């Protein structure tokens, strides 16, 4: 398992912690986006399986107070079918994460993040009423993406943003969906052996940073212009996608020396 953790030197720690901090602020404010920032960047320094397990733990623990508040206001008619759909397909995504080659995983995570960012930037919206079968179907896609890459957010975001509900209900839906879907992800990752001592060591650094970042993001929720925030968030995700490309590893290492 020595290769699982990799050589996490000072620069590597800075890269991972910086990604966690930025991702946490985005997550606390919007209810999504942490995985699209943290996973591509962290995977340049540590194994994607380690990054995914770390993100699952810090996100489910740190966001719990926000989730408890969100339970009271979310729309259960659309959240519950989506959670059920995700639960069925999280194990499939986790299996792919467990058996795939590390370099292939890094490219896949980068490409998935880029495609999901393109979806969000396109402005595409589901225009119909969020019925239970449709919610279930979107949950299936989010569950698989969450299992393989912790990038479950964008399909649900694009889906729920299309409806007439106010932004605070959409944020609550996302918070509750991720919390409940993560239960199956814990089971799938445990079966696949992702929770190692390396994860525990990284959590010592990650938990306080992510917790403070979530707090800052939550404090800013409702105070900033949503249009400005959306532009900043999408820009950060785009930078994360570009910087995480394996083809740029040599350039980034040279610039960090």
pTM for this structure? 0.75
Least confident interval from 47-51, 58-62, 156-160, 251-255: 251-255
Three-state SS at 221: coil
Residue, of 64 and 151, whose pLDDT is higher: 64
Separation CA 13–CA 163 (nearest Å): 40
Tell me, what's the pLDDT at 240? 65
Separation CA 210–CA 187 (nearest Å): 23
Residues counted in the chain: 257
Among 46, 52, 16, 38, residue whose Cα is nearest residue 241: 38
pLDDT tens-digit profile of 140-197?
Answer: 988 888 888 777 777 787 778 766 777 788 888 988 998 998 898 999 999 989 998 8
Q: In 10 A of CB 251, how many CB atoms?
A: 11
Residue, of 198 and 224, whose pLDDT is higher: 198
pLDDT tens-digit profile of 75-89?
Answer: 999 999 999 999 999
How high is the mean pLDDT of the chain?
81
């Amino acid at each position: 398992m020595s290769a699982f953790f990799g050589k996490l030197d000072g620069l590597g720690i800075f890269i991972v912690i910086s990604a966690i901090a930025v991702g946490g602020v985005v997550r606390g404010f919007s209810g999504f986006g942490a995985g699209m920032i943290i996973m591509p960047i962290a995977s340049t320094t540590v194994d994607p399986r380690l990054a995914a397990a770390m993100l699952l733990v810090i996100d489910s623990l740190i966001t719990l107070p926000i989730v408890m508040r969100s339970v009271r206001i979310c729309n259960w008619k659309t959240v519950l079918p989506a959670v059920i759909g995700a639960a069925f397909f999280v194990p499939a995504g986790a299996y792919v994460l467990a058996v795939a080659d590390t370099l292939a995983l890094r490219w896949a995570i980068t490409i998935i993040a880029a495609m999901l960012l393109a979806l969000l930037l396109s402005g595409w919206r589901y225009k119909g009423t969020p019925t239970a079968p449709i919610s279930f179907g979107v949950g299936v896609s989010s569950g698989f993406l969450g299992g393989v890459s912790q990038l479950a957010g964008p399909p649900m975001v694009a889906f729920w943003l299309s409806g007439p509900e106010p932004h605070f209900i959409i944020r609550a839906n996302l918070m509750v969906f991720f919390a409940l879907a993560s239960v199956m992800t814990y089971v799938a990752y445990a079966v696949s052996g992702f929770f190692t001592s390396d994860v525990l060591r990284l959590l010592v650094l990650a938990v306080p940073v992510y917790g403070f970042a979530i707090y800052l993001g939550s404090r800013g929720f409702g105070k900033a212009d949503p249009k400005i925030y959306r532009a900043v968030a999408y820009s950060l995700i785009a930078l994360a996608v570009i910087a995480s490309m394996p083809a740029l590893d040599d350039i980034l290492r040279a610039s960090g020396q």
